[in-house]
Amino acid sequence: MKGVVAAVVASGLLFACAGCRGRTRPTHSEPLIDTFRKHAQEEGLTRVQTHGKRLFAHYCATCHGDAGRGDGQNAYNLDPAPPDFGQSLKQHPQSHWRQIIEGGSSAVGRSPLCPPWGRSLTATEIDALVDFLEALATPAKP
């Protein structure tokens, strides 16, 4: 009797598992991630640049503005005012940008008002910020 019960249970398990093979797992949508992906595609940004944009919004936009034009909500308090990245980024190589992010603007002989983020951000995050700044420095294609 035990053998018959074991055979029935085993065949039931095989039948249940066989039904799973052809099925695909449903994909679950994350609304916030989907929104980021949609905006990134519309803006022509890569995944890394999109991550850099989020970091920029968190750490930099208060002074530099959302689009890096030097018009953030705190810009009016600063003397000298933050630069317009649309103009200033083209004047320096990416290594210069990285140096400012890591050591603050005083690391390149400018105002000490831009803080150093090298201890707060990982190397990957700094790379993402530099990639996003590259996107800001590159004119949009028509």
Tens digits of per-residue pLDDT, 101-124?
A: 999 999 999 999 999 999 999 999
- b/e map of 112-142 (b: 16 or more CB within 10 Å)? ebbebbbeebeeebbbbbbbbbebbbeeeee
What number is the average pLDDT over the span 72-101? 92
Q: Are 99 and 18 in contact (CB under 8 A)?
A: no
d(CA 97, CA 95): 5
Is pTM beyond 0.85 here? Answer: no
Query: Please, which contacts does 63-68 make with residues 24 or more away whose CB atoms are closer than 8 Å?
Result: 63/113, 63/114, 67/136, 68/133, 68/136
Q: Are 7 and 1 in contact (CB under 8 A)?
A: no
Percent of the chain with pLDDT over 70: 74
